[in-house]
């Protein structure tokens, strides 16, 4: 359905077009007309389905530009999501100069208080910081017309339910309320019953999610094997942008240090980092200056980067809903994505539970060998060399090039360049990842009764796919499709050479 069919104003349709939206997603097509009619709405949809615009557009259409009071409030579970929501509402409301402000913990509250003096009409905030402002009387909610609870299930998981109820009680009873949640546990349903007026339930079914754009695989590996297997997959697949999800902050730090030690362009984020550090890392990732982002679930909330090609679940999530949120970071805006989950032998029950929720069968993959990883590096290096030759003004270097060709064999010169680009012996750098406590045995023993319908487990010929293939979603570094991210970049940083064991033969 086109946005022009949803009852939006011309300035908003212009903003929609300027922001690159083409057709409304299912959650937008069903929600926007209801909200414009003044109805309360419960939207059940996963991350990546376009729900921010589903509530942002009606808010922007209904606020009074001449009223200096806060008229719409959006409550978000994390500061990252709050910031991104504020940015998206601001962009969509740019044509009509809508005033949108964001408040969140971990930032200077005095600066936020000064910004609030500009009288925003739309306020986005995290529960704790909103309550802080309310107690300081720097935020007043008595003129709220529209209230949005975004990712309500995540706020429940983070223990914010009491805070949310306190905030809701400070708003007028006659307000319009929208609640968005990937799942609908009893506590969230109670919020809908208690604080909403005859809400209309919009549920986007799993088949309408972008899972058909995401190739989902799993690899059986023991905990101590995961890191080496993952780096080989980076070499074979050469993803443009990857997110690696881990269960703990310690693992984020250890995996990030290990990747950096082996020459990969990686950084990690988790809750112990300052807001400034997290924002800087996310900005680098969004602008293609980082290849790999390592993150915990909470720290990665709100990351909305369309070019993420691969998601690696280094640790399988204990909660199947978390898997959906993780995978939703790729396969966005019509792009293809790849998800790969590492599973230890005693975690297969968790994998089956995820498959039941997503209604998608994950395919087993055989880990690539060291030789295959090296071939992947060589393939990427070859593409990089081709691009270098095409964009280099060779006349400037002709004299020195001729001199080198007189001294050395041409094959040796090119081999030396490939050696510098691949740094194959960096894989010998030892990396130790501290073992984590294994997940408890899953109740119900799903895997024992699942084999027959799964088409065979890992190691069976028919489904045992290998990572050596290349298709549209398996792009390599150095190829021409990277031009939109500022030109070619090596998959790894230049760490000074790593040329041990390589000799160049001089001509006689």
Q: Kindly give the confidence (pLDDT) of every residue in the chain, 508 residues in length, as a single tens digit, with 9 standing for 90 and above.
A: 788 899 999 989 988 888 767 678 888 999 999 999 999 999 987 666 778 899 999 999 999 988 999 999 999 998 888 988 998 899 899 888 899 999 999 889 999 999 999 999 999 999 999 999 999 999 999 999 999 999 898 898 888 999 999 999 999 999 999 999 888 888 888 888 899 999 999 987 654 444 577 899 999 999 998 998 999 888 888 888 999 999 888 999 999 999 999 889 999 998 788 878 888 898 899 888 999 999 987 777 667 777 899 999 999 987 777 788 788 888 776 678 899 999 998 899 889 988 887 888 899 988 887 777 666 667 766 777 787 888 888 888 888 888 888 888 888 877 777 777 765 555 668 888 888 877 776 544 443 333 333 333 333 333 344 443 333 333 333 333 333 333 334 444 444 333 333 333 344 4
How many angstroms separate the Cα of 3 from the Cα of each of 9, 38, 41?
A: 10, 18, 19
3-state class of 148 per DSSP? strand
Q: What is the pLDDT of residue 474?
A: 35
Cβ atoms of 378 and 422 closer than 8 Å: yes
Q: What is the pLDDT of residue 341?
A: 96
CA dist 203 and 46 (Å) reads 10
Q: Where are the domains of the chain?
A: 3-204, 210-370+426-485
Hey, what are 109's tokens?
């509250």
DSSP-derived letter for residue 446 is G
Q: What is the pLDDT of residue 463?
A: 39
Phi, psi of 293 (to 5 degrees): -110, 125
CA dist 261 and 125 (Å) reads 38
Burial classification of residue 348, based on how many CB atoms lie within 10 Å of its CB (0-12 exposed, 13-18 middle, 19 or more buried): buried
CA dist 319 and 84 (Å) reads 25
**CATH number, domain 3-204, options 3.30.43.10, 3.40.50.300, 2.40.50.140, 3.40.50.2000:** 3.40.50.300
317 closest CA partner among 396, 247, 239, 243: 247
3-state class of 23 per DSSP? strand
Phi, psi of 379 (to 5 degrees): -60, -45
Instruction: Name which CATH class applies to 210-370+426-485.
Output: alpha beta
Q: What is the pLDDT of residue 207?
A: 45
CA terminus-to-terminus distance, the chain: 72
Cβ atoms of 29 and 3 closer than 8 Å: no
Identical topology for domains 3-204 and 210-370+426-485? yes
Cβ atoms of 290 and 284 closer than 8 Å: yes
């Amino acid at each position: 359905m086109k946005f022009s069919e949803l009852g939006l104003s011309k300035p908003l349709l212009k903003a929609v077009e300027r922001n690159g939206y083409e057709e409304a997603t299912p959650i937008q097509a069903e929600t926007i007309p209801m909200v414009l009619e003044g109805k309360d709405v419960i939207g059940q949809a996963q991350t990546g389905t376009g729900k921010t615009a589903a509530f942002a557009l009606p808010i922007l259409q209904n606020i009074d530009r001449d009223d200096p009071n806060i008229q719409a409030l959006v409550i978000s579970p994390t500061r990252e999501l709050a910031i991104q929501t504020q940015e998206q509402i601001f962009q969509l409301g740019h044509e009509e100069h809508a005033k949108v402000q964001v408040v969140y913990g971990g930032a200077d509250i005095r600066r936020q208080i000064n910004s609030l003096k500009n009288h925003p009409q739309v306020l986005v905030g995290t529960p704790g910081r909103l309550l802080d402002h309310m107690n300081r009387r720097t935020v007043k909610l008595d003129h709220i017309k529209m209230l949005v609870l975004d990712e309500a299930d995540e706020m429940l998981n983070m223990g914010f339910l009491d805070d949310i109820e306190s905030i809701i009680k400070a708003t007028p009873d006659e307000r319009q309320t929208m609640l968005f949640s990937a799942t609908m546990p009893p506590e969230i349903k109670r919020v809908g019953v208690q604080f909403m007026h005859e809400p209309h339930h919009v549920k986007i079914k799993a088949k309408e999610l972008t899972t058909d754009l995401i190739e989902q695989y799993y690899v059986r590996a023991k905990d101590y094997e995961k890191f080496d297997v993952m780096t080989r997959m980076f070499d074979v697949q050469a993803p443009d942008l990857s997110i690696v999800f881990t269960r703990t902050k310690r693992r984020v730090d250890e995996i990030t240090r290990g990747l950096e030690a082996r020459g990969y362009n990686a950084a990690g984020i988790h809750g112990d980092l300052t807001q400034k550090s997290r924002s800087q890392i996310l900005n680098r990732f969004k602008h293609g200056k980082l290849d790999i982002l390592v993150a915990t679930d909470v720290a990665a909330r709100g990351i909305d980067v369309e070019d993420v090609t691969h998601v690696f679940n280094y640790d399988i999530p204990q909660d199947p809903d978390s898997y959906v949120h993780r995978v939703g970071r790729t396969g966005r805006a019509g792009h293809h994505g790849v998800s790969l989950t590492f599973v230890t032998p005693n975690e297969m029950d968790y994998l089956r539970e995820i498959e039941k929720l997503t209604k998608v069968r994950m395919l087993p993959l055989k880990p690539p060998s060291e030789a295959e990883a090296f071939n992947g590096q060589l393939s990427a290096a070859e593409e990089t060399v081709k691009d270098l030759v095409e964009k280099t003004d060779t006349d400037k270097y002709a004299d020195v090039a001729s001199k080198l060709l007189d001294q050395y064999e041409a094959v040796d010169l090119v081999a030396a360049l490939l050696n510098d680009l691949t740094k194959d012996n960096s894989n010998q750098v030892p990396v130790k990842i501290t073992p984590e406590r294994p997940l408890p045995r899953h109740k119900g023993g799903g895997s024992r009764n699942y084999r027959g319908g799964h088409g065979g487990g890992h190691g069976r010929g028919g489904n045992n796919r290998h990572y050596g293939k290349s298709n549209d979603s398996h792009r390599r570094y150095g190829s021409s499709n990277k031009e939109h991210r500022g030109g070619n970049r090596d998959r790894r940083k230049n760490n000074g050479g790593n040329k041990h064991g390589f000799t160049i033969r001089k001509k006689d």
